[in-house]
């Protein structure tokens, strides 16, 4: 296990929104293979959209989830980046806060499914790249397969209502566009 992760990655709202993607990214971060970062603004965005699209969910449960995230990752919540927002040019002005967050915490990666919203040309001047979560996880596999397998096993152990097999969880990953990562997890066993 890596003691001091050198990889710092900001998790965009779109990868925190779906629970299976959020859970695997956070389980991997708990191994210290990378340092996960976010902001209150990112968290507000994904929780607001989740409550809007899933009226069956309770706001109190999401608040508890956010509390657990912030308690488990005490240095993840980035602040003090607002002054950077006006200096950033992106196709969607509403995404500038994500880049500002990354600049503030010196992240080199923004993990997002919305790659078109974070063009390479706009990010390279800040030494930041945008990566799809599938590619991000696959790149971490290249660093430490065993640690990633432990993160998957941890996620499986927490799925109790209902319990899931590894194959069911990997099918869920595939449905959430983690296709290459699911294949890597399927090929690796502890």
Torsion region of 80: left, alpha or beta (phi above 0 gives left; psi -120 to 50 gives alpha): left
Mean pLDDT (whole number) for 107-121: 97
Q: Is the distance from CB of 31 to CB of 150 less than 8 angstroms?
A: yes
85 has pLDDT over 50: yes
3 has pLDDT over 70: no
What CATH number is attached to the domain comprising 122? 3.40.50.1010
The per-residue pLDDT for 1 is 45
Number of domains in the chain: 1
The per-residue pLDDT for 5 is 64
What six digits make up the tokens of 151? 């993160």
Q: Is residue 158 part of a domain?
A: no
Neighbours of 122 (CB within 10 A): 18
Q: Is residue 186 part of a domain?
A: no
9 has pLDDT over 70: yes
Residue 182: which pLDDT band, with cuts at 50, 70 and 90? very high
Q: Please state, for a pLDDT cut of 70, what percent of the chain lies above it.
A: 96
189 has pLDDT over 70: no
The per-residue pLDDT for 121 is 96
HSE-up (13 A, CA, CB side) for residue 183 = 6
Residues 6+ apart with CB under 8 A from 140: 7, 28, 33, 34, 148
Mean pLDDT (whole number) for 84-107: 96
Encode pLDDT of 115-153 as tens digits. Answer: 999 999 999 999 999 999 999 999 999 999 999 999 998
Question: CA 103, CA 68: separation in Å to the nearest integer?
Answer: 25
Mean pLDDT (whole number) for 31-37: 96
Expressed as residue numbers, the domain containing 76 is: 8-142
Q: Is residue 29 part of a domain?
A: yes
Q: Is residue 94 part of a domain?
A: yes
The pTM assigned to this predicted structure is: 0.93
- Run of H or E residues at 34: none
Q: Is residue 76 part of a domain?
A: yes
The per-residue pLDDT for 162 is 83
Average pLDDT, the chain: 93
88 has pLDDT over 80: yes
Residues 6+ apart with CB under 8 A from 15: 21, 22, 25, 111, 112, 113, 133
The per-residue pLDDT for 2 is 46
Q: Is residue 150 part of a domain?
A: no
CA distances from 74 to 5, 35, 67, 77, 112 (A): 15, 11, 10, 7, 22
Residue owning tokens 């240095």: 75
Residue 162 vs residue 180, higher pLDDT: 180
């Amino acid at each position: 296990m890596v003691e001091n992760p050198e990889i710092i990655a900001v998790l965009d709202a779109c990868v925190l929104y779906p629970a299976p993607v959020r859970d695997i990214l956070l389980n991997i971060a708990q191994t210290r293979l990378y340092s996960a970062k976010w902001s209150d603004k990112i968290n507000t965005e994904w929780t607001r959209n989740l409550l809007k699209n899933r009226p069956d969910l309770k706001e109190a449960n999401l608040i508890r989830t956010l509390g657990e995230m912030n308690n488990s990752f005490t240095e993840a919540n980035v602040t003090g980046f607002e002054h950077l927002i006006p200096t950033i040019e992106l196709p969607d002005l509403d995404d500038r806060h994500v880049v500002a967050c990354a600049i503030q915490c010196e992240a080199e990666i923004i993990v997002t499914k919305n790659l078109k919203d974070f063009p390479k040309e706009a990010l390279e001047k800040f030494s930041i790249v945008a990566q799809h979560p599938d590619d991000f996880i696959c790149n971490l596999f290249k660093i430490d397969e065993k640690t990633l397998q432990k993160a998957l096993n941890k996620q499986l152990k927490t799925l109790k209502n209902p319990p899931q097999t590894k194959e069911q969880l990997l099918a869920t990953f595939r449905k959430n566009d983690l296709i290459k990562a699911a294949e890597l997890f399927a090929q690796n066993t502890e």
